[in-house]
Structure 1
């Protein structure tokens, strides 16, 4: 039997446990019943707090994206005015590498969802909610350093997508930091002609 919690605490627990479930086992067999089981609830009990699996996933994905945004912002705040776009890119990879199984399973969820318009997470990913949260940070840093910050951020995004696909296809645990270090200097050296000159 589920413990008695006030509604907001129960919702927070559902979000946290659903995230743990996806991080641990992926989302291939995701269902409202499976989420409820992980939360120690019945499906009707879960529906008392969320109006369906789509709402649960949107809450989980929004909370996770906001947590990551705060981690990136903290990295930039620590570096202060000296923070660079390269610092931000390094932090992005370090965060993924710090929880590789979760990173991989949520990347897999995104790929599956985007391939199926009926998937409960399709709208979240199609609207690019997590990308929009990070874009102001990346543009702010790119604007400090580069004459064409949008071009730089766009190229960096393409590199990131290529790496994510490589990591998803890997049959062994991906080497996030190693793979990034292989391409990082080449990527940023390629931006030199766009760098602002003082």
Structure 2
């Protein structure tokens, strides 16, 4: 009985993961407002009520997709213990990873633009995410300064905001150039110009 329950639980987790992957792809293709739960369900080979069993609303699915992306990125980068220069290098490494997953970059660009509207279901999520991202970058610059690795005149608060803006702008350029823009290369050059040590 316990083994059967475990199999059912594993199957449910696998289906939930498939729904997140298909939703991520469709949100990237059509945007949040243009995506349909029925289309996502069809792509996953389940009924609309079957999808609603896992995610009762479109809003809950979108937020799960966005949080899933953040978790995957955090685990991949392993930035928990990194500080200063290492952490700054992690931003360039993230851009390198993003260059291998166009659908996720499209999702982020499309939905973050839509979410500037205060009534968008992901508005609060992106407000928090940007505040956290800029704060993380500012902290990394401040740590680099403590390590003696930051050039004179580089203000951690301004540099943190600039880095996140550069990353987002590069993602749009990369999408529009069909992958020709070297996101990681541009970021590394930008960071290197601010540091007294090699990345």
- Normalising by structure 2, what TM-score? 0.69
Q: Is the 8 A contact 2:137 2:160 kept in 1?
A: yes
Give the structure 1 partner of residue 166 of structure 2: 159
Work out the CA distance in 1 between the residues paired with 2:130 and 2:78.
14
| 1:114–1:32 CA distance, 2 compared to 1 (3 A) | same
Work out the CA distance in 1 between the residues paired with 2:109 and 2:116.
11
Tell me whether 1:27 sits opposite 2:30 in the alignment. yes
Deviations 1:128-152, CA, capped at 9 Å, x for gaps:
33762x5565344322212742222
Q: Secondary structure at the match of 2:35?
A: coil
Work out the CA distance in 1 between the residues paired with 2:161 and 2:11.
39
| 1:186–1:60 CA distance, 2 compared to 1 (3 A) | closer
Q: Is the 8 A contact 2:77 2:90 kept in 1?
A: yes
Give the structure 2 partner of residue 89 of structure 1: 91
Give the structure 1 partner of residue 45 of structure 2: 40
Q: How many residues align?
A: 180
Work out the CA distance in 2 between the residues paired with 1:115 and 1:141.
27
| Structure 1 unaligned blocks of 5 or more | none
CA shift, 1:49, in A, is 2.5
Deviations 1:46-104, CA, capped at 9 Å, x for gaps:
22232211111111111111110121225x75xx67853441222121111122x2233
Tell me whether 1:103 sits opposite 2:104 in the alignment. yes
- Normalising by structure 1, what TM-score? 0.70
Q: Secondary structure at the match of 1:175?
A: coil
| Structure 2 unaligned blocks of 5 or more | 147-154
Work out the CA distance in 2 between the residues paired with 1:40 and 1:130.
35
Q: Is the 8 A contact 2:84 2:142 kept in 1?
A: no
Give the structure 2 partner of residue 150 of structure 1: 157
Work out the CA distance in 2 between the residues paired with 1:81 and 1:179.
22
| 1:164–1:103 CA distance, 2 compared to 1 (3 A) | same
Counterparts of residues 41-190 of structure 1 (less than 5 Å): 41-73=46-78, 83-99=85-101, 101-125=102-126, 127-129=127-129, 132=132, 134=133, 137-146=136-145, 148-168=155-175, 170=176, 172-176=177-181, 178-182=182-186, 184-189=188-193
